[in-house]
Copies of this chain bind each other. A is one copy, B any other.
Amino acid sequence: MDIKGFQFSAVEAAIKKPGRKDLALIYSEVPAQACAMFTVNAVKAAPVLLSMERITNGSAQALVVNSGNANACTGEAGMEAARGTSRLVSEGLGVADELVQVSSTGVIGVQMPFERIRAAVPALLEGLSSGTLDDVAQAIMTTDTFPKMEARGGEAGGISYTVAGIAKGAGMIMPNMATMLAFIISDAAVENSTLDETFRRAVNASFNAITVDGDMSTNDTCLVMANGAAGNPAISAGTPESAQFEAILGEVLLSLAKQIVRDGEGATKFVEIRVTGARSDADARTAAMAIANSSLVKTAFFGQDANWGRIFAAVGYSGAEVDQRRLSLRFDDVLMAEHGIFAGGDAEALGTQVLRKKEFTVTVDLGLSSGKATVYTSDLSHEYVSINADYRT
Which A residues lie at the B interface, using CB under 8 A? Answer: 40-44, 70, 72-75, 77-78, 107-111, 171-172, 174, 213-218, 293-296, 299-300, 302-303, 305, 307-310, 312-317, 321-325, 327, 337, 339-342, 380-382, 384-386, 388-393
Contact = CB atoms under 8 A, between A and B. Distances in A.
A308 to B, nearest CB: 6
Nearest to A314: B215
B299 A342 contact: no
Given A41-B316, A382-B386, 9 more contacts: A43-B315, A43-B327, A72-B313, A216-B313, A299-B384, A299-B388, A303-B389, A305-B390, A305-B392
Q: Which residue of A77, A309, A321, A327 has the most chain B CB atoms within 10 A of its CB atom?
A: A309
Given A43-B315, A385-B299, A73 B108 contact: no
B41 A313 contact: yes
Pairs of residues from A and B, 9 with the lowest C-beta to C-beta distance, nearest first:
A108-B309, A303-B389, A43-B316, A109-B309, A299-B388, A216-B317, A42-B322, A75-B341, A41-B316
A215 B296 contact: yes
B382 A324 contact: no
Nearest to A171: B296
B302 A337 contact: no
Contacts of A393: 303, 305
A152 to B, nearest CB: 32
A312 B386 contact: no
Contacts of A389: 299-300, 302-303, 305
Contact of A324 (B73, B305, B322): B73
28 contacts: A43-B316, A73-B312, A73-B340, A73-B341, A75-B325, A75-B341, A108-B307, A108-B310, A109-B308, A109-B312, A110-B309, A172-B296, A213-B295, A214-B214, A214-B293, A214-B295, A217-B313, A295-B380, A296-B388, A299-B385, A300-B389, A303-B388, A303-B389, A303-B390, A305-B391, A305-B392, A380-B385, A382-B385
Contacts of A172: 296, 313
A313 B218 contact: yes
Contacts of A312: 43, 72-73, 108-109, 218
Nearest to A108: B309
